[in-house]
Amino acid sequence: MDYALAILASAIAMTLIVGGRYLLSSGFFAWITVRTRPGQYDKLKPQIGREIRWSLLSAAIYGVPAGIVAWGWQNAGWTKIYTDPEMYPLWYLPVSLFLYLFLHDTWFYWTHRLFHRPRWFKVAHAVHHDSRPPTAWAAMSFHPVEAISGAIVIPALVIAIPIHVGVLGLVLLVMTVMGVSNHMGWEMFPRWLVQGRLGRWLITATHHEKHHELYRGNYGLYFRFWDRVCGTDVGLADLGSGFSAAGSQRVRD
Ligand SMILES: [Zn+2]
Ligand SMILES: [Zn+2]
C-alpha cells in the first residue's frame, strides 16, 4: 500500500512538472511570437483555449509512466539511468543522445503514419490537426490515445538503454523545444541551416508546418530520415509568407 501511495505521489509530481514545463515553454514561445509577429495569433483565441486544455490533459497522461519510472529509478533500480559520466566510455554520451533521439523519432514516425490511416485519424489524431494553423500552445495538443503512445517512449527507453542523467535532460530539452517551436508558425532557425545540407536531415518548423498544411507526408519528429527513406517527405512550407491556403486540402495517407 505504501508503494502504491509513493508511486501515485510520484505520478502526480511528474504531472505537475510536465504541465508546468508545457506552460512555461509554450508560454515563452507564444510570447515571442506575439512580440515579434503581432497579429499572428489574433484570430486563434478559441483554438488556443482548446490546445491548452488538450495539452494539460496530455501532461497528466505523460506524468503517469514518467512518475512510475522515476519512482523505480530512485527506489528499485528499474532504469539504466546513470550519474557517473565515466561509467561508460565518454564517446557514449553523444552516441546515447543521438540513439535516444533516433529511436524516439522512429517510434513517432511509424505511429504517426498509422494515426493518418482514416480510422485511426478520426479516433486518435484529428484533435492534433484541429489546430489550423497550429500555435506554440499546440505542442502537446493530443487526443489521449496519441498522448499514451508518446508518453511511453522515454520511460521504455530508460529501462532498456543506458543514459547519463545529464544526457537524458538534454533529450527532454530537445523534445520540449522542438515540440513547441515546430508548431509556432514561424522558423527560428537560420535559412542557411534549414535550406542547407543539414536541413535536408533535420526537422524544424518549416518541415512540420507542411505536414499540418497537407495532412499527409512529413511524418517525422526530429529527423527527415524515415520520410526520405519511405518517400513521404513533401518538402518545406513557405513560412515567409505565412500559413498558405493549402490547409483546406484535407488529403490523408
Ligand atoms: Zn499528423
Ligand atoms: Zn503537429
Cα 131 to averaged position of ligand 2 atoms, centre (Å): 9
Task: Measure 77 CA to ligand 1 centroid, in angstroms.
Answer: 36
The predicted structure's pLDDT at residue 35: 94
Residue 112 within any structural domain of the chain: yes
pLDDT at 1 over 80: no
Provide the number of structural domains found in the chain: 1
Condensed to tens digits (0 to 9), the pLDDT of residues 188-205 reads 999 999 999 999 999 999
Ligand nearest to the CA of 184: 2
Helices 45-75 and 153-160 cross at an angle (nearest 10°) of 20
Q: Is 104 part of a structural domain of the chain?
A: yes
Domain presence at residue 26: yes
List the domain range (segments joined by +) for residue 172.
2-186
> Which of 206, 205, 208, 210 is CA-nearest to residue 247?
210
Ligand nearest to the CA of residue 113, numbered in listed order? 1
Whether residue 116 lies inside any domain: the answer is yes
240 in a domain, yes or no?
Answer: no
CA 111 to centroid of ligand 1, rounded, Å: 10
**Residue 216 covered by a domain:** no
Ligand nearest to the CA of 183: 2
What's the pLDDT score for residue 239?
A: 82
| Contact indicator for 30, 184 with CB cutoff of 8 Å | yes
Asked, for residue 238, whether it belongs to a domain, the answer is no
The ligand placed nearest to the CA atom of residue 115 is: 1
Task: Specify the pTM.
Answer: 0.91
Binning pLDDT at 50, 70 and 90, where does residue 238 land?
Answer: confident
Q: Round to whole Å and give the CA distance between 201 and 223.
A: 5
Q: Please give the distance, rounded to the nearest whole angstrom, from the Cα atom of residue 184 to the centre of ligand 2.
A: 10
Is residue 227 included in any domain, yes or no?
no
Q: Could you report the per-residue pLDDT of 218-227, keeping only the tens digit for each?
A: 999 999 999 9
